[in-house]
Structure formats: C-alpha cells, structure tokens
Structure 1
Amino acid sequence: MSARIVVVGGGFAGTGVARRLEKLVPQADIRLVSPDDHMLYLPLLPQVAAGVLTPRAAVLSLSRLLRRTLLVPGRAIGVDLDTRRVLVRSITGEHEVLPYDRLVLAPGSVTRVMDVPGLREFGRGAKTLAEAAFLRDHVLGQLEIAHASTDPEERARRCRFVVVGGGYAGVETAANLQRTAVALARRLPRLDPSLIRWHVVQHGGELMPGLGARLSEDTRRVLVSRGVHVDLHTSLVGADDTSVTLSDGRRLATSTLIWTAGVAPSPLVGRLDAETAHGRLVVEPDLSVPGRPEVSALGDAAAVPDLATGDGAVCPPTAQHASRQAPVAADNVVASLAGRPTRRYRHRDLGMVVDLGGRNAVAKPFGIGLAGTPAAAVTAAYHLWALHVPAAMARVATNWALHAVQGQSAVRLGFLTGASGRLAEFEHTDDYLEPAEVRAAVAAARSS
C-alpha cells in the first residue's frame, strides 16, 4: 500500500501514530512535522525546572523512536485542505509544501494566555523544555541576587515567587521549585530561608478540582506546611516588572510571575477551514474530521468524543488520552486507505498522579485516592511505565537515585542568558497563517 501520510506533531499522539504506521504500512511515505527532534514527556517538566532531573531525562529522541519516518524539522503553519497540502516553516525560516493522501493532525497545545495587563510581557511559562530550563536559571538567579543585595526591599522582592494556576502543572511546579529554592537558600550564608515566599493563585475554590475535595485539601495542607501561600478564589489582574496585582486588591512585590493557568489548542487548528469547539478541532468518534475523511485529528488539539463518559463530553487534553488515541488513529488511516470500516476511540481515564516533591504526592489510580508515600510510589511507577522506552526509564530512575543521595543540587545552566522569558518567546504562537494566506503560499510554491 503506497501512500503519502503526513503527521503533524511530535508529541505522544503524533509520534505514536507514526510508530504504528511504520509497522502497519511499511511501504508508505510517512513524514512527521515537528520543530523539535525529540518527544517531550511533559509531566516531568516540573522536576526539570527544580533540577531533580536533567533536561535530557524528560525527552525521547525521535531518531531512536522512528525507523522509517522522515522527520521534517519545522512547524506546520497552515493546511490547504482542498489541495491536500501542508505548509511548513522549517527551522531555517524557509517554507516547504508537503502533499498528502492522508493527514494526521496532532499539533498539541500551547499555554493559554489571558488578556491581563502585563502578563505577556512579564509572565513566564512552564510548558516547554526551554521554559523549564529558563525557570530553573531564573529562580536560582533571583536567590543569588538577593544573597548579594544589601537592600531589604530588593531581597524581599527577589525571594517572592508567584505561580498563577492551581491545576496540575501549577501545583507541581510550585511544589518542586519551592523545595529547590529553600535548599539553595540554606547554602547561601547571607540569605535567610524564611525570606522565601511562594504563592499559588487559584481562581477556583480548590486545587486540582479533578482529583476531588479530599485530595485537593491534602495537597493544600502539604503546600501550606512548607510555607507556600495558597490563595483560592483569587486571580491575577495585572503585572509589571516588579509586582503582580491580585483580584482581592493585594499588590505583591515580586520579580517572578509563573503562568500555568491552563492550556489552549495549537493555533494551527483555529486557522483551518474546519469546525472547532472551544478552540479544538471537532472530530468524529473515529478521530476523522467531518467532511474530510482523509484528515484525522487527536490529542490536545482535537475535541475527541469521550464515549466512556457520554453526555456529549470530550476527552481531556492529557498525555494518557493522546497516547491511547494514537493507535486508533493509525489503524483508521490504514483502514481508510484499504476501504475498510474504521473503529471508534473509547477509553476510560485511569486516573491522575501529582508529584509534590520528595516523598509527597497525591494520586487517584482507578478512582482510589492516595496521598503521601504510597502516592509517591504510584506516581514514580506510572511515569516510568509511561515512558515505555527502557533507556529513558533507566535515565529517569538514575536521576532520581542520584537526587535521593545528593539532595537538591540544581545549578544555573547559563544557556538562556539572553532570553527574556516571555511566554510567546518559547511557544511561537504567532507563526500561523490564515487559510487565504496558506492557499496563496501553496499556490506560489507549486508554480515555482
């Protein structure tokens, strides 16, 4: 079966589709479009930011995962659905047009940014490997500046860190980085660890509401016991380079605003001539795009019907669903090429795990609530299992073992000294073209 198959996205969903297609249609021309040459395991980013893991431990090399798939190093910035062409901006800035017989869209998500004054200019994200590395350097740098300063106000400002978003990413980022910050402060003789202030700002009435009231309260107690201020029913209303303003009227002096208040689908899907729901591409239960049977979509950018839950629910944007949608999407691509019936995606969520640093965690596997050491063991085991690749599992386990022996030993890497840390700088949300622009670019490329 000879066919041109283009997969957009090198995350759990896209990589999973490509790997399965290699086995099912060995003669097909498979191309995977990704700006990175690795698959990022997002749940481990808070540990990368905290220095528990090296950046290499949170990624899987695409060249090792894929055997026959051609990696196209670039970003898909538009799709002409009528002529079946994908417009790619390569990592060198040049445009390339990829024709396809079947298209699989798995471009993932970006940080959801609200229209809050100063947020884009002074907020820092925690969703990419570069952002995690930047956060580590930034937080450690703030403490070192505070240690060298003789100005009490500057010391207090540098030692206050505000995390907006009380979901999984925000809680894990605050919990892990707080431990690192305190450990470093204890090694700086002129810096009192009691000066360090961490805030988690959550607009809702509980942290990580999907875990249930009991585990949410367990999480809050762990954070508070470490000195973290948990501000519920509160939101960010403004920010500048020296402070943030909250909805309850408080103005907190800080040089660090970390924004983790949710994710949004890749801007790519909002610029297609196709229906979306809350920014996610509407798909059928078999993951095909209505009216475009040659196009499939899955992962964070697709509104996949959650048949296990019913009542019109869609699958949440989690790595668990993305990785399980991948084989269904690949099987359906092959079925559509062969003229066979496709199958629907159905999976019941296995639960969530939340790492709070050290021996603290909360988890809800198969609906069973766990906290403390048992939850930490389940969390570690789940992450190792989810990596799948033995070399990656060994690398993470080794990092954990070294950390357990040596303790907190994060250092600034210095790679991102010239970066501003702005949200848009690392996530490239302004790259994408409108349909008319894509058609014009594709037409120009075909005529040249």
Structure 2
Amino acid sequence: MAVPRILVVGGGFAGMETARKLERTLRPGEASLRLVAPYDHQLYLPLLPHVAAGILTPQSVAVPLRRLLRRTVIVPGAAVGVDPAAKAVVIRKINGDTIVEHYDYLVLTPGSVTRQFDIPGVDRHAVGMKTLAEAAWVRDHVISQLDLAAACDDRAEREMRLQFVVVGGGYAGTETAAYLHDLTAAAVRRYPGLDPTLIKWHLVDIAPKLMPELGDRLGAKALRLLRGRGVEISLGVSVAEATRYTVTLTDGRELPCHTLIWTAGVAASPLVATLEARTDHGRLVVRPDLTVPGLDGVLGLGDAAAVPDLAKGGDAVCPPTAQHAMRQGWTAAKNITAALRGEPLSAYHHRDLGLVVDLGSAQAVSRPLGVDLTGLPAQIVARGYHLAALRTVPARVRTLTNWALNTLAGYDFIRTGLQSGRPATLKDFEKTDVYLSPDAIAAHVEEHPAAVGGARAKG
C-alpha cells in the first residue's frame, strides 16, 4: 500500500509548524512529507522593522527551513494553482519549471499579501514590509535619500528626498515609522550639511485611532510617544493617489516625497482564489478543526484562512497574527495524524496572548494577557516574546546580540547598493501576478496525472 502523501504549501509560521510537528508525531514511513516554499527560510515578520533599521541582520529573523526540518522534502517554488478534484497542486519552481504535486492531505498556508485598495499609483510607487527583500530595499533606499539630499543643491529636491510616508497605523506600520525615524534622526548628525528639521516622517491611517486593537489608553500613549519624537501622524485620512514624487492624501494635502511604505493591512494570498471554494473577505472558510468544507483532505490555516475564534464564541475569526498561525499549525499536525490513524479531529482553540509593540528608544506599549504596560517594562516583554517565538537558538543569540550591540554602539549607516536600480513595487516583491486560471490549472494537471496506486486520504 502506498504511503499517504502530505503536502504543505507555505513555509511561514503555520506551514513550518505543521511540518515540524508532523515530523515529531508521525512514525518514520507512516507518511511522506513535502513542503512547498518560494524561500528556504521561515521569516519572523514582526521583526522586519528592526531589519529595515539595520538593528538586526537578516539571518536573525530568517530561520533556515533545512535547520528546522529533517524528514520533510522541501520543494523550492511557489504554488500557483490548486485542483481539489484531482488532489493536485501546480507549482512553479524557482528555476522556472512548472510541476504538479499530488497529495492525499493538503495543508494550505500560503499566507497573505499587502492589501492595496486599488488606489491609483500604489501598485507602482509603494513598497511593503512583508519580505526580507523589502526590508533590505527600504533600508538602502532611506540611506540613499540622505546621501542624495546631501549631494544636491536644490532645496526643493532636498526637502522631497527627506520626507517619508508610512501608510498603516497597525503594529507593523507604527514600528516601521518609529524605527526608521530613529535611524534617520541618528544618521543626520553625521551629515553636517543637512538641516535636521527637513527630515519628516508621516504616519497615515484611515482609522480614527492609532492601533485600536491595543485599546484607547495604550493607543493614545503610543500616539503621544511618536509625536513627541517628531513623527507626524494623520488619522482618519488615507492616500488618494501616489506618484513617483508625491503622495496625495484624501484631505487634499500633497506630500512631496520619494518614499512610500505601505503597511495598510493584508489580504489572503491569491492562491486561495484558485480553489474556487467559499471565502470570507478573501480568506478560505474552514471548520473549527481547520478542514475545508467540501474539499477532501484539505486543511486551511494561517493568514489565508478564516479560522473560527472559539475563544470568542466562534462568531468571529482569528486575526492574522503569528501566534495564531503557529498554534494552528500544531492543531493541523495533530488532526492529520489523527485522520491517518482513524481518530477524531480536534477543534482549534487558543486565547490571544495579547499584542506587543516595540517603538525603540526604550519605549514600547504592550498588553500581555490583558495587562497594560508602557516604557521599558513593555519593551522587555515585547522583546522577550519575540525571542521566545524565534524557532532556533542561533536566531535567538543573533537577535539578542544585535540588540545589545545597537544599544551600546548605536546605528550604522551603510548603503550597500545591492538594490540600486532594481524594480521596487509591491508586485515585484510579493509576486501577486503569477497565479493560474482554472483552465490553466486543469491543463497542467492533465499533463501530469497522479501515479497509480497513490494512497487515499481517510476522513
């Protein structure tokens, strides 16, 4: 009898934790494990603003999948279509070849992409904070703007290069604005010819409050801290249009700038749409046990799935956070093991541990387990949580060492030039245009039929 085939799509928090837990719960030879991922690492997204500011090295937040997974075959590529009827996934490998992987159990964890809202110019002139490449590009770009401003004689151009706009008042946008503001504030002291008052960071969000998920008190505290450091915060407004040299807000203001960082929420990976299954605001609808109704052997979890939040009664869905994705991965592995062994499945249930927001400069706001913290205690909790969430000891040591070095020695201002002249749009970094139509998926699957004698999923 053929061994059941388990295919995990996505190497983020949910996918990696699923594969890692399956390696521990399944006996050798009980099933074959394959994981499809376009990158060879599990990226710890919450610390990308630290990478963009140069506080952490990329190796600190990118844990190699091959260090974490020993029995799982890693397929280097991106899933671009799913045919649930044929139990097949179409994959475009990193060398450009297209292959088809057949499965008995499919764990869909393709994650999310940056939400753009169809605002003119955002797709061509904004960059996000979702990948290592974006964080590296942003750092090079910001330092380049300082160098270019110092090199030019035209005051208008200098002012334009020294204005930076971050859209999105959630934790990602708030931390990005906070850390990059600190970087430029420290850097300008090394540019004797630049007027520090010309450097302006704008944080823009359509919500009436900053980080409303933190509650009124902590959100207001973060607002005061950032404004006290010089970050200009505009709430209740959004971007009406973006061009190469300007950002126009919905209140009519036009901000001349060369830098638009877009962190205004996320949307489920376009891969979800290729299944033609039921969705909730773009996220794949799943049962509390993470199985997808009507699709045999398919589980959905992480940012791309609308997982019922049983801790809140089941009417709401779990927010797209790292802690939910990790724990959903554990439940998915438990349920696949149970299905293989003819045992009942378990519902996912987890109480949110709270939100931590590190604003740098010994400032933070955190709500662990419902307790409001600010200042250094909040930062200690935030960084302690991040260290615990990193999956390997080397990553924790690198991160802790980098934090300590930055505290003692301060920022460095190095422009590598590796990103110079390269396209830098959301589409370039997040590859949102690679997914196939149903007809194209069917054609690929027809060319690559399943091997005879494959195992059949149970339950």
Fold conserved between structures, TM > 0.5: yes
> What corresponds to 1:429 in structure 2?
432
Deviations 1:210-264 (A, max 9, x none): 0001111111111101111100111100111111100111111111111110000
Contact 1:50 1:410 in 2 (8 A): no
Contact 1:60 1:392 in 2 (8 A): yes
CA distance in 1, matches of 2:80, 2:336: 23
CA distance in 2, matches of 1:127, 1:23: 30
Find the residue that maps to 1:288 and give its secondary structure: coil
> What corresponds to 1:146 in structure 2?
149
Deviations 1:376-415 (A, max 9, x none): 1111101001113211111100111111111011412222
> What corresponds to 1:324 in structure 2?
327
437-446 vs 295-304, which deviates more?
Answer: 437-446
Contact 1:109 1:301 in 2 (8 A): yes
Deviations 1:38-95 (A, max 9, x none): 0000000000000111111111000100001000000000111011111100001110
Which segments of 5 or more consecutive residues in structure 1 lack a partner in the other structure? none
CA distance in 2, matches of 1:234, 1:273: 35
Find the residue that maps to 1:352 and give its secondary structure: strand
1:63 aligns with 2:46: no
Contact 1:47 1:176 in 2 (8 A): yes
1:10 aligns with 2:11: yes
Find the residue that maps to 2:19 and give its secondary structure: helix
Deviations 1:312-357 (A, max 9, x none): 1000000000001111100111111222110000001000100111
CA drift at 1:293: 3.8
TM-score (norm 1): 0.98
CA distance in 1, matches of 2:120, 2:8: 37
TM-score (norm 2): 0.96
CA drift at 1:447: 9.9
> What corresponds to 2:372 in structure 1?
369
CA distance in 1, matches of 2:274, 2:4: 26
1:100 aligns with 2:133: no
Find the residue that maps to 1:315 and give its secondary structure: coil
> Which of 184, 187, 195 is the matching residue for 2:187?
184
> Which of 165, 185, 188 is the matching residue for 1:162?
165
CA distance in 2, matches of 1:260, 1:24: 37
CA distance in 1, matches of 2:153, 2:55: 31
1:342 aligns with 2:345: yes
1:171 aligns with 2:174: yes
Q: Structure 1: which amino acid aligns with 2:187?
A: L
Q: Structure 2: which amino acid aligns with 1:50?
A: A
CA distance in 1, matches of 2:339, 2:421: 49
> What corresponds to 2:456 in structure 1?
none
- RMSD over aligned Cα atoms: 1.3
258-267 vs 418-427, which deviates more?
Answer: 418-427
Structure 2 counterparts to residues 24-423 of structure 1, below 5 A: 24-25=25-26, 26-27=28-29, 28-310=31-313, 312-423=315-426
Contact 2:61 2:390 in 1 (8 A): no
Contact 2:88 2:102 in 1 (8 A): yes
Q: Identity of aligned pairs, percent?
A: 54
> What corresponds to 1:20 in structure 2?
21
Deviations 1:129-164 (A, max 9, x none): 100000000011001100111111011000000111
Contact 2:308 2:314 in 1 (8 A): no
Deviations 1:286-333 (A, max 9, x none): 000002241101000000000000151000000000001111100111
Q: Structure 2: which amino acid aligns with 1:110?
A: V
How many residues are aligned here? 448
CA distance in 2, matches of 1:351, 1:99: 39
Contact 1:180 1:408 in 2 (8 A): yes
